[in-house]
């Protein structure tokens, strides 16, 4: 993460496609794509765990849950820089399209 900006520069310079697991990198560093968990959803679901524990449930009795909502982000500025055309079908399924 400390070298994110440099990696993004190199990827753009060498026309390399980038896809990451943190959607904030698509916005902050102009990477091409990201597929990430929905953090607001994870926090909301964690709050229900806290609620159950505060109401007396034992943490050890609560089931382990995995994220169920994911977000897909595409940066069209980076796609244009790389000379890529993102198919309309891919854009249609994106949760966030950065222009």
Contact residues for 22 (Cβ-Cβ < 8 A; gap 6+): 34, 36
The domain in which residue 73 lies consists of 4-98
Instruction: State the pTM of this model.
Output: 0.65
> Residue 11 has which token pair?
């990827």
Strand 33-37, strand 70-75: pairing: antiparallel
Phi and psi (nearest 5°) for 69? Answer: -115, 130
Say if residues 67 and 41 touch (Cβ distance below 8 Å). Answer: yes
Q: What is the pLDDT of residues 51-76, one digit of tens each?
A: 999 999 999 999 998 888 988 889 89
For the chain, what is the domain count? 1
Q: What is the pLDDT of residues 81-99, one digit of tens each?
A: 888 899 999 999 999 898 8
Phi and psi (nearest 5°) for 98? Answer: -95, 125
């Amino acid at each position: 993460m400390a070298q994110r900006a440099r990696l993004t520069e190199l990827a753009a310079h060498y026309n390399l496609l980038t896809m990451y697991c943190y959607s904030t990198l698509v916005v902050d560093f102009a990477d091409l794509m990201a597929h990430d968990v929905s953090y607001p959803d994870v926090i909301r679901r964690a709050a229900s765990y806290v609620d159950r524990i505060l109401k007396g449930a034992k943490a050890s009795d609560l089931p382990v849950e995995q994220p169920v909502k994911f977000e897909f982000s595409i940066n069209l500025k980076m796609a244009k820089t790389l000379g890529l055309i993102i198919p309309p079908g891919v854009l249609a399924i994106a949760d966030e399209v950065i222009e």
